[in-house]
Amino acid sequence: MSQKTCSGIFLCALLVAGTALSGCGGQKAEAPAAPAPAGAATASDAVGAKVAETIIEQSAKAQGEDVDVQIGSSGDAMSISVKGAQGDYQMTTGAFSSLPQGFPEDVPVYPGLKLQMTNVLPGEQTFSVVGQTDAKHDVVFAYYQKELPARGWTQQSVMQQTAESQPMSMLQCTKDSRTVHVLVMTDDEATTVSLTTGVEE
């Protein structure tokens, strides 16, 4: 399964799953129900997930991909797993604290970064994580400029946009046959860090 195809399927997945999971609980009840335990999935969540899985599988089939889709939710987090003949792909969005299994130990994650999304393409050893921190833009970017070389990575390119309102910095490094891309963006609310690492083609 190619990265381009996976990205298309997951864009569809996020749109469909978000609509289905929110839509199934949209009818008004005659009387308020007792709140579910924190992090518990409701029956409507399960129905919405099943509907979304079917729609996504049909969409993938139209693109020539025969896949099995599994969607789960827990609290604010949602996970999507796609398994196909050409490989697997996994995504998690929402509030959670764990890096995906197999994430390279030599790729530093900014201390205290609050993860919001992860993508995994195991067959191609590709990982992406996105998170936010309250730390200043320059502090975060300087961390990566220092930590990556310290862990054996070689800087290949750096780009910085120094707009006061929304600064953006990008860094690309390589190590053996692997590459890592770092994107740091800051707005009025927080600093967002995006990390993508995988084997160079």
The model's pTM:
0.63
Helix axes 3-23, 43-62, angle to 10 degrees: 150
- 193: tokens are 């860090």
Joined together, the tokens standing for residue 159 give 């780009």
Q: What is the pLDDT along the chain (201 residues), one digit of tens a residue?
A: 454 445 444 444 444 444 444 444 444 333 434 444 444 445 555 665 666 567 666 766 666 666 676 666 666 666 766 676 666 666 677 766 678 888 999 999 999 999 888 888 766 678 989 899 999 999 999 999 999 999 999 999 999 987 777 899 999 999 999 999 999 999 888 999 999 999 876
Give domain limits for the chain. Answer: 1-93, 97-201
**CA atoms of 163 and 50, how far apart (whole Å):** 45
9/198 Cα distance (integer angstroms): 20
DSSP 75: T
Q: Which CATH number describes the domain made up of 97-201? A: 3.30.310
d(CA 78, CA 195) in angstroms, rounded, equals 20
